[in-house]
Structures are given as structure tokens and as C-alpha cells.
Amino acid sequence: MTLGNKSVNVSKTIESLKNRNYKVNLNDIKSVEDSSHKKLTFKCYDYDEKNCLTGFCGLDTSRDKFFSMVRKWQTIIETNSDIRTKDGYFLRVFLVAFSRKRRNQTKKTSYIKASHVRTIRRKMNEILIKEGAVCLMKDLIPKLISEKLVDEIGFYGSKIYPLQNVIIKKVKVLDSPSNF
């Protein structure tokens, strides 16, 4: 159900729905408890008689979830990558990873050297660009929503320094093919 401006002319009412953004919680779509912190944004690009045809416009992680992961005595690694998919979409993906202590570590802090941070960032960007280049947009969205891509990034990043809580903080669609 979408609210719109009521007018005598039905075509004006329907036209007011075009180019509108809709934010939907992922939990409402999938009804999985662990995905309630992700919000999807869709943009209406066309309409039928009673249906709005939408396209993916972005993904966002809630502030509560992000700030629950931030702790003292750890390093936060943030990066963003520009990805071009096979079907012509241009995305900007924002990633965040947090360091954790090594096994049997007695030191209280788990700070990462700047050279390791650069290496981890480079590896994160490399994996994102590689995944985006071989996928269509309809295949990339489930990878971004599920934890598969994040787990892969965490696995390869942990080879450099132990990481925990690698998350996709935000996804923006910067450019799309001509049909959208």
C-alpha cells in the first residue's frame, strides 16, 4: 500500500508515484530475524494499473547495528569500492571490518599496523570488484544481502590480520542502464 496525492484526475495521482523512493526493511521481505538491520531502497520507475514497477536503488545498515559492533581497543577498517556489473549498473559499496585479538594474545588492544590496513583494504576492494564484474545486478543483490560475500572478504582479510564483524554498511546505485 502506497500513499499518494489524491486528485480528481487518476493519471496525476499515478504519475505522482513515479520516481519515488521506497525504503523496506529486509526482515519484512524475507522474515528472517538476523536480517532486520538491513534496509533496502527501491525506486519506482514505471507503473501498471495498480502496481508500481521498482528497481533496486540501495542498501543501508541501521545505525544501531553498526554502533553495537564498535568497541574500544580495536581498529576499524573502512573502504568503498566502485563496481560496474555485467549489465551496466555502477554501484558504490561501503565496507567496514573490525580487528580482533589473535589467539593466545595477552595484550589488551588489537590495533593493526597501517601497512596491514592498506593490504586488507586492497584485498577487500579486489574481491568486491572481481565479484561485481562477473555478475548481473540480479545475481549481485542476493550476494550483497546474504553473508556469502562478507564471509569471503573476512576469510581473506583474516589471513593478513584477524578480523571480526565484516559488514556491508551501504550500497548506492550511482548509474544504471537506460531502461531505469
Region label for 9, one of left (φ > 0), alpha (ψ between -120 and 50) or beta (otherwise)? beta
Tell me whether strands 90-99 and 21-25 are parallel, antiparallel or unpaired. Answer: unpaired
Which domains occur in the chain, in start order? Answer: 10-175 (3.30.479.30)
Report pTM: 0.84
Cα–Cα separations (whole angstroms), residue 162 to 117, 128, 152: 11, 19, 13
pLDDT per residue over 16-50, tens digit each? 777 888 898 888 887 776 778 899 999 888 877 77
Q: How far apart are CA 4 and CA 15, in angstroms?
A: 9
Q: DSSP letter string over 128-176? A: HHHHHHHS-HHHHHHHHHSSHHHHHHHHHHHTTS-EEEEEEEEEEEEE-
Contacts of 82 (CB under 8 A, 6+ apart): 90, 91, 92, 174
pLDDT per residue over 92-137, tens digit each? 999 999 999 888 888 888 889 999 999 999 999 999 999 989 999 9
